[in-house]
Structure 1
């Protein structure tokens, strides 16, 4: 089975409903960070706006943001906090073209797939077969390694076991990771494992708690602050394996966002959440595949800034978004928050990562 990007079908703008539609209307921002009344909020789907008689696709989108027309007539999708007095903001709440705004949800529709009116097991659960999901993901990642930009979002479970940590290292070294997003904990326990072979004081292979092991992550954080950088920590403490070591060795981008509960944190952590969000979005803007695993909050945060499509070399293609967790609740919560195209898989981190690493070597 060889992966192939699905063909995207644009709306037929030669039909009467589009030809007769008015140009979009705009209102001016009168106070910083405050959108005009009746502002249009974006979704994850392709949205077209009629500007000067032409239907234009907003090539970058993010749900819960607004569309701004710059002084060159180009569409920019911005968060409310970035609005400034004088900005021209598209207004209108309909999405059927009647206000010059059209939401296109069927661009990648597969006409070959037929749904029965009555069928069992229509919802994804721990009982759902995932054989095809894995096969599709293997082929997708092989394609993306040469043609895309893969962003991984991971929680501490990715490094709590030696098997998961070693498999993640293989995937990074093999070129299947372009950027890594997460929080202080996953990086801290990965580096703790690199020095002490523990995560939260528990041996990552035997799972036995070691004497005074509850000090290990604190000692790690203390060492990191002493060296002032992760690179110096890795060098001085002779860390030769793991997530952070492999990312740095392979020039994989790392973005760690701070949390109210952080101890430390590591020098690389961005303490201002809005600054962290901006850095995360830089990579989401380039992403063609996003894989979120074992971190509910970072998964939802990433999902909220990830559209269902990407424009690459002038062509519209799907943006593939996966969420993996042991809990049905955790993987389905993202869909409830608006990321309707997410692909969910029920698996623990070690099994998922080892299966990927074994099939992608």
Structure 2
């Protein structure tokens, strides 16, 4: 049985929804410009009323996009990609008043009324035990390895420890990663670890600071630039381990989005923010499980791009699982405040998380 809850569709026979008007559309006045009153999408399941009681579920609603209605087809499009004349769904209400219904409870489990109105520990914190969260994640990853699209969003901390770096490489090699999204730093320090056994000049096992180690990542960038690409550098420098090498061996797509603070950057890092968004969004739209490790800005970016659900080929609607792994509660709260309500936090350091995950998945 799939490790996700059954989806309950809205009851469109309810009097208020049965009386809902068809959704309205207006033409985009020019490329990248929306008509007034456009409907901005969420990452919840959203339905548009075509009339006559026919409600159409958007296949991949995601935050801050718009709906384009073409006959009986509903497309979700970023505003900057809307073309002049396309019919944009308009309406700012969400409960059917304008033929738009945002369904926030489709995956909710039946609730039991607790006798106590007051209780301790009702919110996840660093004191929360995460044993069940881990067990659920193992089941999800085993299912989605063959039946989904697992996207990892990595901060460089994963490469700063020998064991977590090795664990991530093995997870990729075992098929538990279908796309990797990161920045220049993750690739740079993964290659630094391969060549020098350091991360920002610090030994990735002993944490000893090495003489002139602060040059190491700059030397790595220079060497990769000299070879022309990461793939050519890995072959030419005889690199035999690491996260990037594992992705190349498994043909796992790697999207590296640049930052204003990047050294170099490495060849292959996308420095145009729009191009980076488009490249990341390809995998966010396909994702069934996202795991974001110790990277606040990339986690928020991917959270904004990722639908809260997927419609499978057989019509089944399933949730998209989104895990945040960080030592701080701040990032989980930040994501929730940005609208990624499905994000679940496991509050620990990423090194312990990676090693624990691999030890359980490899069995």
- Relative to the length of structure 2, the TM-score reads 0.96
Alignment of 1:82 onto 2:81 = yes
From the superposition, tell whether residues 113 and 210 of structure 1 become closer, same or farther in structure 2 (CA, over 3 Å).
Answer: farther
Gaps of 5+ in 1: none
Cα deviation 1:308-353 (Å, max 9, x = unaligned): 1111112100100000101111222111111011111101111000
Question: Conserved in 2, the CA contact under 8 Å of 1:281 and 1:305?
Answer: yes
**Aligned partner of residue 224 in structure 1, secondary structure:** helix
**Aligned partner of residue 238 in structure 1, secondary structure:** coil
Alignment of 1:14 onto 2:10 = no
Report how far residue 13 of structure 1 moved.
Answer: 2.0
Paired position in structure 1 for 2:351:
350
Report how far residue 18 of structure 1 moved.
Answer: 2.5
Question: Conserved in 2, the CA contact under 8 Å of 1:294 and 1:324?
Answer: yes
Report how far residue 52 of structure 1 moved.
Answer: 4.0
1:52-63 correspondence to structure 2 within 5 Å: 52-53=51-52, 54-63=54-63
**Aligned partner of residue 49 in structure 1, secondary structure:** strand
C-alpha RMSD of the superposition: 1.3
1:229-248 correspondence to structure 2 within 5 Å: 229-248=229-248
Paired position in structure 1 for 2:152:
152
Paired position in structure 2 for 1:33:
32
Report how far residue 144 of structure 1 moved.
Answer: 1.1
Paired position in structure 2 for 1:200:
200
Alignment of 1:310 onto 2:310 = yes
Report how far residue 31 of structure 1 moved.
Answer: 3.0
- Distance between the aligned counterparts of 1:141 and 1:174, measured in 2? 11
**Aligned partner of residue 339 in structure 1, secondary structure:** coil
- Distance between the aligned counterparts of 1:18 and 1:335, measured in 2? 29
Paired position in structure 2 for 1:339:
340
- Distance between the aligned counterparts of 2:72 and 2:308, measured in 1? 24
Question: Conserved in 2, the CA contact under 8 Å of 1:3 and 1:136?
Answer: no
- Distance between the aligned counterparts of 2:329 and 2:51, measured in 1? 47
- Distance between the aligned counterparts of 1:254 and 1:114, measured in 2? 46
Report how far residue 173 of structure 1 moved.
Answer: 1.1
Cα deviation 1:68-125 (Å, max 9, x = unaligned): 123x441111111112221211111111112111111111110045555321122221
Report how far residue 17 of structure 1 moved.
Answer: 2.4
Paired position in structure 2 for 1:268:
268
**Aligned partner of residue 305 in structure 2, secondary structure:** coil
1:1-361 correspondence to structure 2 within 5 Å: 4-53=3-52, 54-70=54-70, 72-114=71-113, 117-313=117-313, 314-361=315-362
Gaps of 5+ in 2: none
Report how far residue 4 of structure 1 moved.
Answer: 2.9
| Aligned residues between the structures | 359
From the superposition, tell whether residues 201 and 114 of structure 1 become closer, same or farther in structure 2 (CA, over 3 Å).
Answer: farther
**Aligned partner of residue 62 in structure 1, secondary structure:** coil
- Distance between the aligned counterparts of 1:14 and 1:227, measured in 2? 64
Report how far residue 64 of structure 1 moved.
Answer: 1.1
Cα deviation 1:187-236 (Å, max 9, x = unaligned): 10001111111111111111111111111111100111111111110001
Question: Conserved in 1, the CA contact under 8 Å of 2:3 and 2:136?
Answer: no
- Distance between the aligned counterparts of 1:111 and 1:42, measured in 2? 27
Question: Conserved in 2, the CA contact under 8 Å of 1:332 and 1:344?
Answer: no
The structure 1 segments of at least 4 consecutive aligned residues displaced by more than 6 Å after TM superposition are none
**Aligned partner of residue 307 in structure 2, secondary structure:** coil
- Distance between the aligned counterparts of 1:194 and 1:27, measured in 2? 55
From the superposition, tell whether residues 302 and 113 of structure 1 become closer, same or farther in structure 2 (CA, over 3 Å).
Answer: farther
- Relative to the length of structure 1, the TM-score reads 0.96
